[in-house]
Chains A and B, each alone.
Chain A
Amino acid sequence: MLATSRNFEARARSGLANENLQRALALARTGFPLRRRLAIERLPEFEALREIGRAIKDHTIEHLDFYLEYYETKVEVSGGQVHWARTPEEACAAVLQICRSAGAKTVTKGKSMVAEEVGLNEYLEANGITPVETDLGEYIIQLRKEPPSHIIAPAIHLVKEQVAETFRAEHRALDPARLLDEPRQMCDEARAVLRPQFLAADVGITGANFLVAETGSSIIVTNEGNGDLTQILPRVHIVVTSIEKLVPTFEDAAALLRLLARSATGQEFSTYTTISTGPRRPGDLDGPEQYHVVLLDNGRSALIGGEFQDMLRCIRCSACLNHCPVYTAIGGHAYGWVYPGPMGAVLTPSLIGIEQAGHLPNASTFCGRCESVCPVKIPLPKMMRHWREREYAKRQSPSVYGIGLSAWAWVARRPVLYHVFAELASRALGWAGSRRGRFRALPLAAAWTRARDMPAPEGRSFQSLWAERQKMQRPR
């Protein structure tokens, strides 16, 4: 997917001004955290599971080469095929080649963030194959030609009126006088429109939430059932996924699955958790004839062993997005690429470079809420700070903030000078603000005072007052 992360500031501003988006985000901001909290309250073992989940992922990553080879062997033993892809181009080419060999005309697709990452839809369309998105949210944004704004609820930025408008514009064969006011009606319409596509598909492409090394299986976690129809009806099933999705055994997957739905939507378990292994077996009445796994690296192997390794634990639950005050203020499109919110702020620069994605790790208050809800305990603010450190090290010419911060640090390292400055500054500002107690405008602080007043200081520094008090108390 083409990245527009450089335009973060402008896109954030337009997100803030977008009334439909703000209405949609207001629902998400309170809804998701509440549902997650309720689900966790019902599972006393949740905290312990976070630690277990962290350990399972760390163990797997530390032995990823072993697990990758073991997994590949098991996929082959069960009749499937693994296609290794270092880059988006290799991944897309592999998928196209499989589709072409299968003579694919209709391709259905379940939700896959990795497929977004490699720009699979655009690539296939350029090569004469249009994949039909079947996840309702993905379908809606495909019609609107928009990217997803959330990693599990791709159309979360839309209000229902926008969905209705899109359906009316795109489902032209349907009666224009039909009622399309409520989500129920839109859902039924999407179901009816997409059913023939499911049935006609030659190839079904899904992602994978987990890959199980023990059995060579892929696991998808959905609520709609579209992923399942995508992967059982066509002749060919392609899984587009990435190397860090591996876990050793089903038991390990089960532990992580207990964390996933609760962290994502507050459900006890998603409606459909499906473990797929190879193509149909002899005698099966349904199922695909071919099973392919396109296994993408795209920079993940480079994260191992470095400051960002912990990011590879991510199970794409979206809890960090849902609890982030910045994400829920500006929406996902502001981040400009596939992965928004706190996890996107860490992962996006890793995958597309800090030059493009520099704003993402900077647009954070480090409130830490993301880390506190991450089911696998990824220290997200810490890694955003590492990105800031890398940027700082490379900075050719410091910005205004950089100069200000350096000046502050310079003074802070000289206590005697600092105390003089502190007393002078508090006297000056205190005097200037004494009449009203605050400033409506302040030179050099326009970014602050545009939106809020600046309270005036009391007028003396603490250290000066303290020194005076000490002097008064000292016997002469």
Chain B
Amino acid sequence: MRVALFVTCLVDLFRPTVGFAAIKLLEEAGCAVEVPRAQTCCGQPAYNSGNRANAKAIALQVFDAFAGYEHVVAPSGSCAGMIRVHYPELFSDDPVNLQRAQELAGRSWELVSFLVDVCGMHRVTAQWHRNVTYHDACSGLRELAVKDQPRHLLGSVAGLTLRELPGAEVCCGFGGTFCIKYPEISDKMVTDKVRDIAATGADGVLAGDLGCLFNIAGKLLRQGRRIEARHVAEVLSGMTEDVPAIGLPR
């Protein structure tokens, strides 16, 4: 299968290892992966702040950049949700582009759900000896039904113990510009999330979205907690040695 990686701006700028981890997993699943150069952002910041014009312009760019690939895969539920759910909404009154949006939506996926639901991957060969817990990033969970798939694959990581996080489905308080515009409310939400993570006794927390992870990691670090935060792709691909946990130095 000819798959295009939607890198996402957070992976691109902050944590390329996640992109390489995604490629490794996709190749393990038998895909030929390409990375279109003409991609930047999915347009969600513009969209969620009410700027439909900019969101549409960026979406059109995405249509062009990802034309012709069998599948488009993003290591982010938030970006994949933007493409699958919100691009069609953006063009709901524009029949021509609506069709392009629906067509792209039909072949766009969040990484882990693609591996399990489309590629039929049921185990990985990675190992990582840790107790971890898993946070369900909101978009992936509610827009794309990403819930069982990461747990399924994590279950096959040798040496890994997964403890369920009470309130796994409660928002961490990132919300894009929300954490900047309403910082005290965001702080309360991430404080609660970190308290719940710490209460599991886990030494690591994983998730499928870097926005959530940077928010959670930032709070864990500020509180001086020794709980590692990583993107689930790093663990599944066995690349945990390639990069320190989020926010830790080399």
Task: Count contacts on A: residues with CB < 8 A to the other chain.
Answer: 68
CA distance A362 to B11 in the complex (A): 26
The answer to whether A448 and B219 touch (CB under 8 A), given A389-B52, A408-B45, is no
**Which of chain A's residues has its CB closest to B137's CB?**
A367
The answer to whether A329 and B179 touch (CB under 8 A), given A388-B49, A389-B52, A437-B249, is no
User: Contacting A363 at CB < 8 Å: which of B35, B89, B185?
Assistant: B185
CA distance A388 to B54 in the complex (A): 14
Residues of A within 8 A of B15 (CB): 457-458
Closest 3 CB pairs of A and B: A365-B175, A392-B50, A452-B218
B243 contacts A405, C-beta separation under 8 Å: no
**Which of chain B's residues has its CB closest to A359's CB?**
B182
User: Contacting A382 at CB < 8 Å: which of B37, B89, B180, B217?
Assistant: B89
Residues of A within 8 A of B222 (CB): 440, 451-453
**Which of chain A's residues has its CB closest to B46's CB?**
A409
User: Contacting B178 at CB < 8 Å: which of A365, A414, A440?
Assistant: A365
B138 contacts A448, C-beta separation under 8 Å: no
B12 contacts A462, C-beta separation under 8 Å: yes
- Residue B221, interface by CB 8 Å: yes
Q: What are 28 inter-chain pairs, A to B, with CB distance below 8 A?
A: A9-B182, A12-B182, A325-B170, A325-B189, A329-B188, A330-B188, A364-B178, A365-B174, A365-B175, A366-B175, A369-B142, A392-B50, A411-B40, A413-B40, A422-B13, A434-B249, A447-B183, A448-B183, A448-B218, A451-B187, A453-B247, A455-B246, A455-B247, A456-B247, A456-B249, A457-B15, A458-B17, A461-B16
Nearest Cβ in chain A — how far from B189, in angstroms? 5
Nearest Cβ in chain A — how far from B71, in angstroms? 18
CA distance A338 to B192 in the complex (A): 27
Nearest Cβ in chain A — how far from B12, in angstroms? 5
Residues of A within 8 A of B89 (CB): 382
Residues of B within 8 A of A460 (CB): 16
Query: What bracket does the count of chain B residues touching chain A fall in?
Result: 35 or more
**Which of chain A's residues has its CB closest to B65's CB?**
A415
B40 contacts A418, C-beta separation under 8 Å: yes
Identify the interface centre among B37, B169, B188: most chain A CB within 10 Å of its CB: B188
Interface of A is mostly: helix
Residues of B within 8 A of A447 (CB): 179-181, 183
Nearest Cβ in chain B — how far from A263, in angstroms? 17
CA distance A363 to B177 in the complex (A): 10
Residues of B within 8 A of A390 (CB): 50
- Residue B244, interface by CB 8 Å: yes
Nearest Cβ in chain A — how far from B222, in angstroms? 5
CA distance A425 to B192 in the complex (A): 31
A458 contacts B14, C-beta separation under 8 Å: yes
CA distance A461 to B45 in the complex (A): 20
- Beyond A363-B178, A401-B180, 6 additional contacts (C-beta under 8 Å) are A326-B189, A363-B181, A412-B46, A413-B57, A438-B218, A458-B14
CA distance A451 to B219 in the complex (A): 7
**Which of chain B's residues has its CB closest to A362's CB?**
B181
> Which residues of chain A from 340 to 358 have a CB within 8 Å of any chain B CB?
none
- Residue A406, interface by CB 8 Å: yes
Residues of B within 8 A of A325 (CB): 170-171, 173, 189
CA distance A455 to B219 in the complex (A): 10
Nearest Cβ in chain B — how far from A22, in angstroms? 9
> Which residues of chain A from 370 to 420 have a CB within 8 Å of any chain B CB?
371-372, 382, 385, 387-393, 401-402, 405-406, 408-409, 411-415, 418-419
Interface of B is mostly: helix
User: Contacting B187 at CB < 8 Å: which of A371, A452, A457?
Assistant: A452
The answer to whether A448 and B180 touch (CB under 8 A), given A329-B188, A389-B50, A412-B58, is yes
A392 contacts B14, C-beta separation under 8 Å: no
User: Contacting A368 at CB < 8 Å: which of B19, B65, B138, B179?
Assistant: B138
> Which residues of chain B from 178 to 224 have a CB within 8 Å of any chain A CB?
178-190, 192, 214-215, 217-219, 221-222
Residues of A within 8 A of B91 (CB): none
Residues of A within 8 A of B128 (CB): none
- Residue A450, interface by CB 8 Å: yes
Chain B 127-151, CB-CB to A under 8 Å as 1, else 0, gives 0000000000011001100000000
CA distance A329 to B167 in the complex (A): 14
A457 contacts B218, C-beta separation under 8 Å: no
- Residue A436, interface by CB 8 Å: yes
Residues of B within 8 A of A387 (CB): 50
B247 contacts A329, C-beta separation under 8 Å: no
Residues of A within 8 A of B61 (CB): 413, 415
